[in-house]
Amino acid sequence: MRDPDFDEFLHVPARLSVVALLAPAGWVDFGFVRDTVGTSDSALSQQAAALADAGCVEVRKTRSRTGRHTHLRLTTRGRQAFPRHALALERIVAVARDL
């Protein structure tokens, strides 16, 4: 079964983990996302860049007395895409249960 709301781009496990973590939040510290998702700085940077290029995530870099800080948040597009994809996954699972 092919669900029209299934998002191949978001379904990449690393991206899906990041988007799911950001969904209930505003700006989230890069280090918190990295540690919670369990990835490296470089791997998260690559996924954040891909998500930003797709218009799903916004990346904010700032400087303060304590150093450089990077924060991530979902864009409006990301906030719409994630629940659509999650519902598509639920529908796919429901069909599989009925088999």
- Sequence-distant (6+) residues with CB within 8 A of 39 are 14, 47
- Terminal Cα distance for the chain, rounded: 12
pTM here is 0.91
Report H helices in the chain.
13-22, 30-37, 41-53, 76-98
Q: All domains of the chain, ordered by start, with CATH?
A: 13-98 (1.10.10.10)
Return per-residue pLDDT of the chain as tens, 99 residues: 688 999 999 999 999 999 999 999 999 999 999 999 999 999 999 999 999 999 999 999 999 898 999 999 999 999 999 999 999 999 999 988 887
